[in-house]
Amino acid sequence: MTRVFDQVGLFAAISEAERFLSARKLSLGHIDRNEPRAIKLDAGDLPRWREMSPAQRDQLDGRVTGNMCRGPVVVEIYDRRPEAIAAFCRPDMVQAFAPTGGAL
């Protein structure tokens, strides 16, 4: 399951993706050059992608890819945990983010 954030401006797309994920209690890993950013439900502080082992990456609920500086960025939630998918798809939050751009 994915959502694209394509807001225009320096760090605009990733900032909107961060707000979207935070509102859903989906934790986001730190920016690390051209690497993806980790997503995990209620995980708190996540390390950079390159600091994670393959086993740790297998435990994630998703990732963010794309140009973190200029956008667009793609938020991808894996099909592993129903709780993470439910958080990502919260219907009460869809309207709050729909007008700002990006595909649902």
Could you tell me which of 75, 81, 89, 44 has the C-alpha nearest to residue 60?
Answer: 81
Top-confidence residue, 93 or 8:
8
pLDDT over 90 for what percent of the chain?
78
pTM, entire model = 0.84
In this prediction, residues 32-40 reach a mean pLDDT of 93
**Cis peptide bond N-terminal to 36, omega within 30:** no
Give the model's confidence band at 92: pLDDT under 50 very low, under 70 low, under 90 confident, else very high.
low
**Taking the mean position of all CA atoms in its chain, how far away is CA 74?**
7
Mean pLDDT throughout 45-74? 96
Confidence of residue 98 (pLDDT cuts 50, 70, 90): very low
Q: For residue 104, what pLDDT band results from cuts at 50, 70 and 90?
A: very low
| Helices vs. strands in the chain: H and E counts, helices first | 4, 5
Residues in the chain: 104
